[in-house]
């Protein structure tokens, strides 16, 4: 291989991610030509509806997979939290790169924390997971939908449409916008989405030479944590219609995984936690899913999907 093409969405954050992988590949293989194919996905085009109403985060991935399938691109760089829990036949994740900060970030021009917001204050988020946890902790607040790329969301805050917004800390940090973070929200208060903060590299299956190269970008610790998180989400039928959180940490060789399933209005919040050696990451995800099911998670999921 002397030339590689990366398929990427064209938002500033997505392009940062693609350029980051481009630079890492060129550092690994001096002389390797790495180009970026910018694309606009359905998820980028439909901004007047929540993701849960238009098909979920897979809309950010589909066009990039088509570029892989027809040979226009060799790999696609994704935020792992946007990648469906089950990939289409013929595709694989070749690497999961070292995780950035997985936490949610509180962003406001007037207030320093969620607890400081007065009753009736308007908080913007595009995530049912964040919304459910917000409503459970702060029922006096108004939670309203917020779509668009990072800059668009910040502009809506700056224009006074919201008193505060919740974004992924990783995206703000990668774009050099860490100063906009008024407070970081700890996982105990807002459990992250599965894979939040990590980048994944997707390729067509059956390309061993490319897979071997990309394996050099894989971070073993992040891979173990994300494997456990995605296993839990997959077992629960994870989609944008479900307020579902999954967050794993690693202490030495031991994984600790916390899972959360909630009703969007915050009236029900189920939590479960378990630990296992890193080699059992996938089984750990299934074990935490079983714990949630023992708390009637299936009945909650059925109720949520009926109301959607």
**C-alpha distances in Å from residue 279, one per residue of 14, 202, 268, 284, 286:** 31, 22, 32, 9, 14
82 in catalytic set = yes
Helix (H) or strand (E) holding 165: strand 164-168
Would you mind telling me the total number of residues written for the chain in this entry? 308
Q: List the structure tokens of 296.
A: 């009637």
Q: How far apart are CA 131 and CA 137, in angstroms?
A: 10
Point out the catalytic residue in the list 82, 101, 104, 163.
82
User: 3-class DSSP state for residue 259?
Assistant: strand
Q: List the structure tokens of 143.
A: 């939670």
Nearest Cα to Cα of residue 249 among 192, 294, 210, 287 = 192
**C-alpha distances in Å from residue 241, one per residue of 53, 94, 162, 261:** 8, 27, 23, 11
Q: How far apart are CA 36 and CA 69, in angstroms?
A: 16
Answer yes or no: are the C-beta atoms of 285 and 234 closer than 8 Å. yes
- Among all residues, which ones are annotated catalytic? 82
């Amino acid at each position: 291989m002397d030339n590689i093409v990366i398929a990427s969405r064209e938002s500033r954050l997505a392009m940062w991610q693609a350029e980051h992988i481009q630079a890492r590949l060129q550092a690994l293989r001096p002389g390797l030509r790495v180009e970026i194919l910018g694309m606009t996905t359905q998820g980028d085009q439909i901004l007047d509806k929540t993701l849960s109403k238009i098909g979920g985060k897979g809309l950010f991935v589909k066009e990039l997979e088509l570029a892989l399938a027809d040979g226009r691109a060799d790999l696609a760089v994704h935020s792992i939290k946007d990648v469906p829990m089950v990939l289409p036949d013929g595709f694989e994740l070749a690497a999961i790169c070292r995780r950035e900060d997985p936490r949610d970030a509180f962003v406001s021009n007037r207030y320093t924390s969620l607890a400081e917001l007065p009753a009736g204050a308007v908080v913007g988020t595009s995530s049912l997971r964040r919304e459910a946890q917000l409503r459970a902790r702060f029922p006096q607040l108004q939670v309203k939908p917020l779509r668009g790329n990072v800059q668009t969301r910040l502009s809506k805050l700056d224009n006074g449409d919201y008193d505060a917004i919740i974004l992924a800390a990783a995206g703000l940090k990668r774009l050099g916008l860490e100063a906009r973070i008024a407070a970081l929200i700890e996982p105990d208060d807002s459990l992250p989405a599965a894979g939040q903060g990590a980048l994944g590299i997707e390729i067509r299956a059956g390309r061993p030479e490319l897979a071997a190269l990309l394996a050099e970008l894989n971070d073993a610790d992040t891979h173990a944590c994300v494997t456990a998180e995605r296993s839990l989400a997959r077992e629960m039928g994870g989609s944008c219609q479900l307020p579902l959180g999954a967050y794993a940490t690693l202490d030495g060789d031991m994984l600790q995984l916390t899972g959360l399933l909630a009703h969007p209005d915050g009236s029900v919040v189920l939590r479960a936690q378990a630990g296992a050696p890193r080699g059992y990451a996938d089984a750990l995800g299934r074990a935490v899913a079983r714990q949630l099911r023992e708390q009637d998670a299936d009945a909650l999921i059925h109720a949520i999907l009926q109301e959607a």
